[in-house]
Homo-oligomer: A and B are copies of this chain.
Amino acid sequence: MTSSLIAPRGSVPEIEEGLAFAPRFDAAGLIACVVTDARSGELLMVAHMDAQALERTVQSGEAWFYSRSRKALWKKGETSGHVQTVIEMRVDCDQDVLWLKVEQAGAGACHTGRRSCFYRAVVHTGPGAPLTLEFRDGERVFDPGEVYGGGHPGPT
């Protein structure tokens, strides 16, 4: 999908050092977005945008994504009210990842009821042993059953 907001991909020096916004969408038309809390810097979630989600985000100032599992445009917070107001958007060197610094409305960003989606550490207990998970910052800050009415297909 093309958009009047976006420049065509140029040379490597143009992409890395230039001032034209020329994001690379993948074969499925998506670009990864890292979302952090603008105040605390905390990593909240990672989601994907297509060109339309990017347009809506820019035009509304609130984060829109594309849900790969639901195959649909998705406004963050449309069900939960946990809207993300975009304070700043950045792009990385090769322009294939976006970074949104947001003001997170409501208690948390994760559909499981946590503040952040990254509530488990990956732990290696010893050579040959499988990796296991350990809850860190895993306390629930809202009740997902109440907020989503019992069913939510997941964030991405």
A positions within 8 Å CB-CB of B = 4-7, 12, 16-21, 32, 34, 36, 41-43, 45-46, 58, 88-94, 96-99, 110-112, 114, 117-122, 124, 128, 130-134, 136, 154-156
Contact = CB atoms under 8 A, between A and B. Distances in A.
Number of copies of chain A assembled together: 2
A70 to B, nearest CB: 12
Given A16-B112, A46-B34, A118 B99 contact: yes
B120 A46 contact: no
Given A21-B132, A89-B121, A93-B119, 5 more contacts: A16-B154, A20-B133, A41-B42, A43-B43, A45-B92
Contact of A94 (B91, B136, B156): B156
A5 to B, nearest CB: 5
A141 to B, nearest CB: 14
Nearest to A88: B121
Given A32-B46, A98-B122, A20 B93 contact: no
A6 B154 CA distance: 22
